[in-house]
Structure 1
């Protein structure tokens, strides 16, 4: 019902705008015929000014979104803290300048505590589209009942790697692995584009990645392939292999496991750096993925070890999807604090400002092995 109403409003706005444009053209033409001294260039300037007034006015966001090229039911989604305001504003500015000023996809911000009014105003000021805010429940952000909290914390005390003693980091990894797509604000979407604070996009994105994925049957999109620190996931492959052995029918034909496994058929740590991912959410909501996440969750590895959502997503993508359903966005220049990626020759041509010497993502072993196996597609 609501979707149908939205379509009706969109068509009505299109009709009204067409009528206004035709009336303006007719009025200007009439004045010209009866002796108006305006030059042709001046008439064209007036038309352009009228067009710009429609596209630049912040009050016309709804009309702009309706008139944008065909869009998908999609949004940018971020799990952030109130303290991330500055970094999130930087990322929104980048996204708006490079892409969203033309497409006006909405933003969804999630937090384990309510957002402050300062945070809300700060991100809304920069967004060209609708912004919504949500909080997480105790099921998605916390310990499941089968995890022994004291056992987990005793293990953390002996661990020595990044975030080894962080409870909230483990909550985050579990949430991103199995719950983000189930949040009420995200549940209504068909696609999401994960965004993070302090991110840079080096290149203009002159097409809609959501539409591209839909039209080409792509389920998962990535930019940087990286190697996981194996001390954080010592039993992840063991649990994954057990799941595969119990559910052989879930393994996709022509899958991408060759990228994720070494010569001994053991997980090599390669993963898609999930701080950037564009996903057809029907994949995460599919029975095989949900059962895979539940199997991992019941093992306790998110807490007794430090399983990241990136290797979890990547292993799932590698064996549940066909390699042709996975897309390497090699044309999108991207930087997340510490690591970046530049498209080929983007320091010499194209709509990029990118230094390949500093942003060497395409030279990472896992990215190179993907290209060697499957090419850039």
Structure 2
């Protein structure tokens, strides 16, 4: 009798336990299934992205981009900017003169660093002298063979023959190899030097130039706060014999790389008419004189510009002809930027070689030491400033 009661109790406990187990399973099963379904859906979405056909991925990556909003900043926030100087040891006196003027006219108030670049090692004398000219930071870098030298695809014998032919025609710097290395470096490499990695804007300086006007504002903050990407103060006409095939190469790039060109502003919104008078049939030889240049490094670091430069570079035009960084920068910027992203620094008086920009307006006379009669802006046949103004105003 007692054994029967024990067995009955055991059976009752077993039934109760099975009941509780069933309730637990029924209660937790929906949650478990939901989690499993969610994970499966997420895994399938990731699989769909990574395993999509190549053409579908390309379609997604080349849709017309929405212009990203400007980075959030306050007007008085510091700007990551620097002076960039390509210079040799023997040009010490010339660059010392430039730095003294820049410090007196502008940088003693703002303390932007100087980046000195050279295809050779800087001497200790050069470093000591230049560092004593400013209380701002000074840094010194050497160019590697990729940045300064012949790429492997250049036929150096052909390049030498072409230089000799250009010399017979009296082309400036016709026989100079270093000038061609310089133009290629300034066109495609200066912004890639590691010393510039931390900066967003630059001001290019040259030895043996003059700055004539006091600046009471931060030009880099002006550029950033107003959405400007390219600043200049002299527009010049190139020597046609130095760039005979450049424009056709630009047109070939537009034909061959439509996926790049489609990202550029529509013609009416760009400065296209600054570089062509006949809607692209030919190059009018206008360019911004890049020995003075204040610009955004993002312009040259962009994938669009890198593809553009690489396309030009592969043709060998920097060595077989004498393509300058000024027409290359100017053509690219005129097609890649919107009109409102350019700025003419009228208030920065500047002289390079025989040509001077000197502001003629009365309000600048107390700030500038140059003679307005020397102003190059409207020099007939040489200056392209009027072409710039017209292109800026046309719709």
TM-score w.r.t. the length of structure 2 is 0.75
Q: Residue deviations 1:181-210, cap 9 Å, x none? A: 000101221111000001211111111111
| Cα distance in 2 between the residues matched to 1:321 and 1:169 | 28
Alignment pair present for 1:104 and 2:129: no
Give the deviation of 1:347 after TM superposition: 9.1
Structure 1 residues 335, 346: CA separation in 2 closer, same or farther (over 3 Å shift)? farther
Alignment pair present for 1:188 and 2:201: no
Task: Indicate conservation of the 8 Å contact 1:346/1:352, yes or no.
Answer: no
Alignment pair present for 1:344 and 2:326: no
Task: Indicate conservation of the 8 Å contact 1:77/1:107, yes or no.
Answer: yes
Q: Which moved more, 1:303-312 or 1:339-348?
A: 339-348
Task: Indicate conservation of the 8 Å contact 1:342/1:354, yes or no.
Answer: yes
Which segments of 5 or more consecutive residues in structure 1 lack a partner in the other structure?
1-68
Alignment pair present for 1:120 and 2:127: yes
Task: Indicate conservation of the 8 Å contact 1:156/1:164, yes or no.
Answer: yes
Give the deviation of 1:350 after TM superposition: 3.2
Match for residue 351 of structure 2 among 335, 342, 354: 335
1:273-284 mapped onto 2 (5 Å cutoff) = 273-284=289-300
Alignment correspondent of 2:54? none
Task: Indicate conservation of the 8 Å contact 1:256/1:319, yes or no.
Answer: yes
1:3-14 mapped onto 2 (5 Å cutoff) = none
Structure 1 residues 76, 346: CA separation in 2 closer, same or farther (over 3 Å shift)? farther
Alignment correspondent of 2:274? 259
Alignment correspondent of 1:11? none
Match for residue 288 of structure 1 among 279, 304, 317: 304
Give the deviation of 1:70 after TM superposition: 4.2
Alignment correspondent of 1:373? 391
1:159 aligned counterpart, secondary structure:
helix
Alignment correspondent of 1:133? 140
Alignment pair present for 1:320 and 2:327: no
Alignment pair present for 1:227 and 2:243: no
Alignment correspondent of 1:209? 219
Higher CA-based Rg: 2
Which segments of 5 or more consecutive residues in structure 2 lack a partner in the other structure?
1-75
Alignment pair present for 1:178 and 2:194: no
| Cα distance in 1 between the residues matched to 2:123 and 2:377 | 35
1:102 aligned counterpart, secondary structure:
coil
Q: Residue deviations 1:123-182, cap 9 Å, x none? A: 111112000000000001001111111111111111131111111110000000000000
TM-score w.r.t. the length of structure 1 is 0.79
Structure 1 residues 154, 297: CA separation in 2 closer, same or farther (over 3 Å shift)? same
Task: Indicate conservation of the 8 Å contact 1:346/1:354, yes or no.
Answer: no
Q: Which moved more, 1:152-161 or 1:175-184?
A: 152-161
Task: Indicate conservation of the 8 Å contact 1:244/1:250, yes or no.
Answer: no
Task: Indicate conservation of the 8 Å contact 1:71/1:210, yes or no.
Answer: no
Give the deviation of 1:233 after TM superposition: 0.3
Give the deviation of 1:354 after TM superposition: 1.3
